[in-house]
Structure 1
Amino acid sequence: MNKTQGWYEASNRTWGQVLFESVTRHPEQELIVCGDQRMTYEQFYECVQSFACGLLELGVSRQQNTALWMTNCPEWMIAQFSVYEIGSPLVPINTRMTIDEVAYSLRQSDAATIIVGSRFIGPPESGLKRLEALIPEVFEQDRDELKCKKLPNLKRVVYLGETVDTPKGAYNFAEIQKSAAGSKVPRSVCEAVDPTDVCNLIFTSGTTGFPKAGMSMHRNNLAAMGEWIRRSDLRQGDRVYLGVPFATNFGCAYVSQLSVLAGSTVIAHEVFNPASALETIQEEKVTWFPGAPTMYIMMLDDPSLSKVDLDSLRAAIVGGAPCPPETIRAMKGRMGFDFVIHCYGLSECGGLSTSTLIDDDIEKIANTVGKKFDTVELQITDPASGDAVPAETQGEIWLRDVEPGSCVGKGYYNMPDATSKAITDDGWFRTGDLGFIDVDGYVSITGRTGDMFIVGGYNVYPAEIEAVLHTLPSVKMAQVFGVPDKEKRLGEVGCAYVELKDGSTTNEEEIISFCREKLANYKIPRHIVFVSGEEFPLTASGKVRKFILREQAIDRLQLKE
C-alpha cells in the first residue's frame, strides 16, 4: 500500500465508526471535561447510543438536518455524535447570533430539529426567552404537532434543561436519553450512513454578506484531520483546550471531531477568559492549545501568567489571523510551548488545507500558513483568467481533491448559484483568499478578493497594510478597508481603524508618516481612526465585519454624498 492509499483508505469511514473505534481502544480515558462534568469515552458512547435511539424514535433521520443551539457542554458533543450516528447532517448554531440570524440559519438549512440549551452567555441568558422570541408556538402547541410559521420545515424542538421547565411543544433532552437507555442504534441505520454523506452544514462567517452553509462530508473531514494529526503531533491522551464555541469550524471539527479521532481529551470552557484559561492549563495539565492570536495575547498580558505552572503545554495552534513574531517568541519563551503551528483552511474544504511544520522558524510561522496537505491540490490562480501564476506572484488560492472527496465538500446548501461560482467545472474550489507560494512551497495569505479596494486605478489589499501597521510598537490591532475619496479624485482611499496597546500613545500623523516609509503612496491610509477593541464588530466566529466598519467610517468621517 502506498502513502496515498493509506490515508485515503483511512478516510473512508464515518464519524460513527470513528467513535466506536476510539471507545474500543481506550474506554476508560476521559473524553470531555467541562466545569464539574467529566465523562470517559465509554460513558460518552453510551449516552450517544441512547440519545441517538431516542431521536430515531422521534423520527429524526439522515434525510433531515439537525441544528444545535447550545453553549459548550458535554451534551453538545453527545448531540453532535448522535446525529452523526444516525446520518442526520449537523447544523451548528453559534450562541452569539441574534434571533434573526438564527432564524435565517434554520430556514436556509431546512433544519427539521433544533436542540436548544437552557442557559446562554449574554442577554438574554435564558434559553426559554430565546425560544419565545424564535419559536413562540413551542409554548402553545403540542410537541407532536408543532408548526412554526417562521420555520415551516421545523418539526421538533429538544430542550436541554429541567423537565418541569420544558415547553409543552418541546421534548426534554434527558427524557429522550432516559427513554432509550441501554439501547443501541440498529446496524442497518449505521450502515446506511456513507463516508460521502454530508456530516456538517457550517455557516460561513458572513463578513461580506449573507452566510452560506458549507457542506462537509465525513470523508473530506477525516482526510484533512488525519493529515493534521500527523502534522501537529496530536497524540492519544493529549489534553486539548477549547475556548471557542463548539458551534464553529474550530470547535465542532478541529477540537471535538479531531479529539475523538486522535483519542484525546477535550477540556472545554463555556467562554474564553485568560485568567481562567491559565488556571485550567495548570489544573487539567493541558498539552495542546488551539486558539486565535488574540487569545494568546490576552494570556500573555494577564497578571496571573507568572503565578501558574504551564509545564504541561507542548503545542500551540494558531489560525484565523496573522500572529506577530514577537507574540510567537513570547508564547515559546514565557508560556513554554515546545512549538507553534500556523494553519489555514475552510469548513467548505474539510476544515484545514495547509500548516507550518513543527521545526519551522518564527518568521515562517508568522508570515506564512505553511505547506499544503497531502490531501489537497493547491494552486495560486489569476482569478480573471483561471490560469496558474508563477511562484511569488499573488493570486487567488484555489483548492482541489487529490483523490475523490479528499478536500472539496459538496458546495453550499440550498445555494446552487453560489456553489457553481465557488466550484469550477474541473473541481477547483475558489477560496476567495488572496496569497502566493514561495519557492519552498510555503503559502502566504495577503487578503480577500472581496476586501480589495481600488485607489486611483491601483488594487490595494488591506492585509498588506495591516501587516505594516502591526509592526508599530504602539499598535495592538489594525483593520484597513476602503472608503469613498472625499475629493472624488481617486474613487476610494484607505481607512485604518487602530487599537493601541495599553499605555501607548501615538497620533494620525505619526502613523501615516510611518506608512510612507513602508508603502507606496496609493496604499497609505488617508484616515486613521483610533478605537477600543470593543468597537470592532465581530461575526459569531470572531472575525471582523469590515463592511460594518466601512459603514460606520463613512458616517463618522462624513463621507456620504
Structure 2
Amino acid sequence: MTTENQNLFAALRAAFPKNLDEIAVETDDELAYSWRDLDRATAMIANLLVSLKLPEGSRIAVQVEKSVEAMMLYLATLRAGYVFLPLNTAYQSAEIEYFIANAEPAVVVCSPKNFGWVSKIAFQAGTRNVFTLGDDRTGSLLDRAAVHGDVHQPAKKPAGDLAAILYTSGTTGRSKGAMLTHGNMLSNARVLKDYWGWKPGDVLVHALPIFHVHGLFVAIHGALINGSKMLWMAKFDPKKVIAWMPRATVFMGVPTLYVRMLAEPSLDQAAAKNMRLFIAGSAPLLVETFKAWQDRTGHTILERYGMSETVMLTSNPYRPEEGRRGGTVGFPLPGVGLRVMGDDGKELPTGEIGGIQVKGPNVFKGYWRMPEKTKEEFTADGWFRTGDVGKVDGDGYVSIVGRSKDLIISGGYNVYPAEIEGYINEMPGVAESALVGVPHPDFGEVGVAVVIPKPGAKLSPGEIVATLKAKLANFKIPKRCFVVDELPRNTMGKVQKNLLRGEYKDLFA
C-alpha cells in the first residue's frame, strides 16, 4: 500500500516548472499569471475553504463564467481535499434546484449576477456558504480568500477518494452524478501525457468551457501535468485562435470549433506551421471536416473518445506514421480494456456492431447516491456499459456508430430527449411529444420536437419553444418544433424515432 499522497493537485503542483516566475497562463484580455500566482492563489482559496470547517467529503458546487480564477477555485478544492462539482453556465433555476437538492453542497459559488436566485435555492436547500465569482476577478470568494495565508499543504488523499462529481443527464429521467476519484483523473492525465507526446515547451490554446471533462480535465490537467503554458480564451473566437497558433503547439476542440475555423480565410499551412497537435472530441467529427482540415493546414486531427464517467478511453495514435484514421476514435488507451458485446451478453467478433463496455483505472466509482443505477450500469465481471454502440476493426481501431439510447450531441453538449420531452409533456394542451436529433452543419446535430395536441387543443410551436427557453439551458432547446396529429409507432405502440429522424433529416441540409 503506497503512502504517497495521491491528491491530484499534489501531482499537478509537482510538475510546475522550477522557475515559478515563468508565465503559466496568458489570457485574451492580456493578463498574465505566473506559476507562483497559481500556487499562491490556490493556497489562499484552499485556506478559505478549510476555515469554513466543512465536513469531510463536502461538495463545492460551482456555476460561474470561465476565468483563470474559476480554474484556481477548482484546483483549490482539490488541494483542500473537497469534492468539485462544476455546473454548466447555461443551466436555469429548475436544473440548479435539482443539482443542489441532489448533491447537498456545503459551498455554492455562482456568478454575481445570479446571486439573488441561486443563493435563495441554496439556502433553502440547507447550504450554509454561498460565494460569488465574476469573470472580471471580482466577487465575494476572492474578497474572502484575500485575507488568508498563501501557503497550504495539500490534503492527504488516497487514490480512491472522491475528487469531482460530474452530472450527466440520464437517457431516461433526471441527471446522474458521476463520481470521479483522484486516482481516476491522475491515471488518465499521466497516460495522456505520454500517449499524446507532451514535451517541454508545449503551449496549449485553451478555448473550451471548463464545466465538463474536455475543458476542465483533459485540457487543464494536460497542460499542468506537463508544466506547460496556456493561452486562455474566455469564449472561443476562431480568428483569435488562428492568430495565436504561431505561439502555441497544442489545440483541443469540439468538431464545431474546427468547422468555424475552416470558415476563416486566415487558416492556412503557414498559420498552423508551429502547431504540433490538434485534438477533437466530445462529438463525432465528420470525415469531410477531417479531410478539409488536412487540406487547409497540413495537419491530421487526432480524434479520441471519452465520457464524463471515464475521462478518456481511446485515442488515435499520436505518431502520424501509425495512422490517424478519420471516422474512428483510435485504440483503447494503455490500461483501458474495451469490448463490444451482443444483446446476448457475449463478446462480438471483429467488425461486428454492439454495445461498448470498458474497464480501467480511469473508470468512475459509480453514480452519486444511486446504488441501483450504478449496479445496473456495471456487468457482473466489473465492466462499465457505456451506452455507446460501436465496433472494432481488424486493425484494432474503434468506431462509434451511435448511442444505445437516443442521445443527441449538439455542439459537443449532450442533450437527452427524455428530459426535454418531460418538460413539453407537462405543458397545457400537450398529449405527447418526441424529440429527435437531426444533422446540422454547425452543431453536428440539433433537436427537433414533434408534438401531438390533446383533442380540441390549439398548440403554437413558437410558444412551446419559448416556454422551454425559460426553463432549460439554450443547447437543449429544440431548433424546430412541429405540431402533428400522430407519431409513427410500432406494433407495441412504441414511437419509432428512427422514422422521425428520417422524415426531418434534411431540415438543415
Using the size of structure 1 for normalisation, the TM-score is: 0.71
1: distance between equivalents of 2:285 and 2:306? 16
Question: Which of 93, 101, 118 is 1:134 aligned to?
Answer: 118
The residue that corresponds to 2:94 in the other structure is 100
**Structure 2 counterpart of 1:68:** 62
Identify if the C-alpha distance between structure 1 residues 500 and 429 changes in structure 2 by more than 3 Å, giving closer, same or farther: closer
Q: What SS does the aligned partner of 2:325 have?
A: helix
**1:385 matched to 2:360:** no
Change (3 A) 1:216 1:43: same
Q: Which residue of 1 aligns with 2:42?
A: 48
Instruction: State the match for 1:416 in structure 2.
Output: 371
TM-aligned CA deviation for residue 262 of structure 1: 1.7
Aligned position for 2:326: 366
- Whether the 8 Å contact between 2:70 and 2:133 is mirrored in structure 1 is no
The answer to which of 291-300 and 53-62 deviates more is 53-62
**Residues 510-556 of structure 1 deviation map (CA, whole Å, 9 limit, x = unaligned):** xxxxxxxxxxxxxxxxxxxxxxxx99x99xxx9975xx759x66x34
Aligned to 2:504: none
Task: Check whether the contact 1:378–1:398 (CA below 8 A) recurs between aligned residues.
Answer: yes
Deviations 1:87-145 (A, max 9, x none): 10100011121222122222222211012233xxxxxxxx2xx22122238xxxxxxxx
| Cα 1:96/1:274, change in 2 over 3 Å | same
2:145 is the alignment partner of 1:177: yes
Q: Distance in 2 between matches of 1:373 and 1:287?
A: 22
Give 2:51's aligned residue: 57
Q: 1:205: how far off?
A: 4.7
Cα distance in 2 between the residues matched to 1:447 and 1:104: 29
Is it true that 1:226 corresponds to 2:199 in the alignment?
no
Measured in 2, the distance between the counterparts of 1:300 and 1:306 equals: 9
Structure-2 separation of matches of 1:254 and 1:496: 27
Letter of the 1:56 partner, please give it: V
- SS of alignment partner, residue 305 of structure 1: coil
Q: Please, which of 346, 349, 365 is the counterpart of residue 307 of structure 2?
A: 346
Letter in 1 for 2:392: I
In structure 2, what is the Cα distance between the partners aligned to 1:447 and 1:209?
20
Counterpart CA distance in 1 for 2:47 and 2:131 is 14
Q: Which residue of 2 aligns with 1:259?
A: 223
1:335 aligns with 2:289: no
In structure 1, the residue matched to 2:445 is: none
- Write the deviation string for residues 320-351 of structure 1: whole angstroms up to 9, x where unpaired: 222233322332332343x42110011212x0
Aligned residues, how many? 443
Name 1:39's counterpart in structure 2. Answer: 33
In the alignment, the residues of structure 2 paired with residue 321 and residue 363 of structure 1 have an alpha-carbon distance, to the nearest angstrom, of 21
Shift in Å, 1:10:
13
Of residues 2, 12, 17, the one that matches 1:19 is 12
User: Partner of 1:397 in structure 2?
Assistant: 356
Please give the alpha-carbon distance, in whole angstroms, between the structure 1 residues aligned to 2:436 and 2:58. Answer: 45
Name the CA shift for 1:393/1:243 in 2 (closer, same or farther; >3 Å): same
- Give the one of 124, 129, 142 matched to 1:156: 129
In structure 1, list runs of 5 or more residues that go unmatched. 1-7, 119-126, 138-146, 167-171, 453-461, 464-478, 483-492, 502-533
Identify the residue that residue 305 of structure 1 maps to in structure 2. Answer: 267
Equivalent in 447, 451, 461 of residue 406 of structure 2: 451
User: Which whole-Å CA distance do the structure 2 matches of 1:281 and 1:559 have between them?
Assistant: 52
Read off the aligned partner of 2:326 and give its amino acid letter: A
Q: Which residue of 2 aligns with 1:83?
A: 77
Where 1:200 maps in the other structure, the secondary structure is: strand
SS in structure 1 at match of 2:192: helix
Higher helix share: 1
Partner residue of 1:295 out of 249, 257, 278: 257
- CA contact under 8 A between 2:317 and 2:324: conserved in structure 1? no
Residue type at the aligned position of 2:389: L
Relative distance call for 1:84 and 1:495 in structure 2 (3 A) is: closer
Q: Quickly say closer, same or farther: Cα 1:558–1:269, change in 2 above 3 A.
A: farther
Decide whether aligned partners of structure 1 residues 213 and 437 sit closer, same or farther in structure 2, where only a CA change above 3 A counts: same
Shift of the alpha carbon at 1:182?
3.1
Which of 144, 155, 159 is the aligned partner of 1:190? 155
- The 3-state SS of whatever aligns with 1:96 is coil
How far the C-alpha of 1:162 sits from its partner, in A, is 11
Q: 1 CA distance for matches of 2:245 and 2:172? A: 36
User: What are the Cα deviations for residues 271-299 of structure 1, in whole angstroms up to 9, with x where unaligned?
Assistant: 212223223335xx121111111111111
Range moving further from structure 2, 237-246 or 273-282 = 273-282
SS of the equivalent of 2:77 reads: helix
Match runs of 1:275-294 below 5 Å? 275-282=239-246, 285-294=247-256
**TM-score, scaled to structure 2:** 0.77
Structure 1 pair 549–269 and aligned structure 2 pair: CA distance change class (3 A) = same
User: Identity of counterpart residues, as a percentage?
Assistant: 23
Shift of 1:206: 5.3
C-alpha distance 10-433 of structure 1, shift in aligned 2 (>3 A):
farther
In the TM superposition, residue 419 of structure 1 has moved relative to its aligned partner by: 0.9
